[in-house]
Amino acid sequence: MSAVTMSRAVRRRWWWTLWSLLAVLATGITAYFVPPYLVGGTTVPGLDMSIPGYYVSLVFHAVPAGTALLVGPWQFVPRLRARFPRALRITGRVYLISVVAAAMAAAYSSAVTPSGPTLQVAFFGLIVAWLYTAAKAYRTIRRREVQLHRIWMVRNYAFTFAAVTLRLYQLAGLQLMGVMPSLEYRDVYASSAWLSLLGNVLVAEYFIVQRTLAPLARRRSAEPDEALPRQAEALSQQ
């Protein structure tokens, strides 16, 4: 096996490992957090039912958001895209409609949540970023700009996946509260939301640069620069 084939095989194995982790976490978080809202929410600890419309907005948020979280990873599998293009177009539409519906419901939940302004600002930031990247993903695919569409979908799913990283950070924060009694749950919640938003953006941008921009830049610098001989000629004539 040549070095090039081997590095491709290693990269492919890495890709599948990361993709599997993404899909398992997305499925696990949806399966654990969404169903309690479908059966009245009475089993959700600390859920304030006295705030008008809060519980209903969470149902209208969690169901489509969970759908987007579940559907998202499959949109990134190249083999599925090649074999079932029609099905992937339909699930792509389901994904984007789910994001818009979930974001609209989340706007109400964010406005009335009793969890405080630091969290509210993070959630409103997420909503704007979620809708903006969804609109960009939609516009680029309508114009058949497939590469750009892929980039905007990676960015958009990074925000969808904030639902997973938020809960992982919250879990870590709860452990930290055990050893730092001065730490309050409200602070853990708000900092987890900010960390999930910023951390996921960084990971998505790293992924985009590594997979899309770096190969393009390398190809560009390997090509002979046609402008250089012309510039040299112009200089020699001065």
- Which residue's CB is nearer to ligand HEM, number 40 or number 229? 40
Specify the long-range contacts of residues 33-39, CB closer than 8 Å, at least 24 apart. Answer: 33/62, 33/66, 33/163, 33/167, 34/62, 34/63, 34/65, 34/66, 37/62, 37/63, 38/63
- What's the min distance (Å) between Cβ of 208 and ligand HEM? 18
> Is residue 98 close enough to count as binding ligand HEM by CB under 6 A?
no
> Is residue 29 close enough to count as binding ligand HEM by CB under 6 A?
yes
Q: Which stretch binds ligand HEM (CB under 6 A): 86-94, 107-115, 134-142, 204-212?
A: 107-115
The residue assigned the tokens 């599997």 is 20
> Distance from first CA to last CA of the chain, Å, rounded?
54
Q: What binding mask, one character per residue, do residues 124-163 give for ligand HEM by CB under 6 A, x or -?
A: --xx--x----------------------------xx-xx
- What's the min distance (Å) between Cβ of 1 and ligand HEM? 40
Rounded Cα–Cα distance for residues 197 and 133 (Å)? 14
Rounded Cα–Cα distance for residues 25 and 45 (Å)? 22
- Which residue's CB is nearer to ligand HEM, number 142 or number 202? 202
> Is residue 195 close enough to count as binding ligand HEM by CB under 6 A?
no
Comparing CA positions, the residue from 166, 172, 174, 152 lying closest to residue 198 is 166
Please give the angle made by the CA atoms of 196, 198 and 203, to the nearest 5 degrees: 90
Binding site for ligand HEM (CB under 6 A): 29-30, 33-34, 37, 44, 58, 61-62, 65-66, 68-69, 106, 109-110, 113, 115, 123, 126-127, 130, 159-160, 162-163
